[in-house]
Amino acid sequence: QVQLVESGGGLVQPGGSLRLSCAASGSIFSIYVMAWYRQAPGKQRELVATISSGHSTKYADSVKGRFTISRDNAKNTLYLQMNSLKPEDTAVYYCKAERNPYIYWGQGTQVTVSS
């Protein structure tokens, strides 16, 4: 069992930056594949970025070059550094932990990009 708690969301102007954190507890964090997803109002949840236990990363085309996913296994924490934010990045951001066959989700944190 893994418990995930996101933080760091908020209101930011276009072009601004935010860093999201996802604190994990309850299991061996380092063995899980971790990911950030987001869900905008009226839209399906979409994958933003993933990071493997070996720190390999993948990004959605819409965030490449602007977002950076990272993990600190010693602190059991996942991060998402978001730069050059756009209004279309507005969504609830969720972290996910996965190790077949188990999947765990956090409760989400709201990110709003608006002037």
Q: pLDDT tens-digit profile of 56-96?
A: 999 999 999 999 999 999 999 999 999 999 999 999 999 99
How much is the pLDDT for 31?
Answer: 86
Contact 18, 111 (CB under 8 A): yes
Burial of 91 (0-12, 13-18, 19+ CB in 10 A): buried
Does pLDDT of 27 surpass 90?
Answer: no
How much is the pLDDT for 28?
Answer: 84
Contact 50, 57 (CB under 8 A): yes
How much is the pLDDT for 57?
Answer: 97
**C-alpha dihedral (40, 46, 32, 63), degrees to nearest 10:** -90
CA distances from 98 to 11, 83, 85 (A): 29, 26, 27
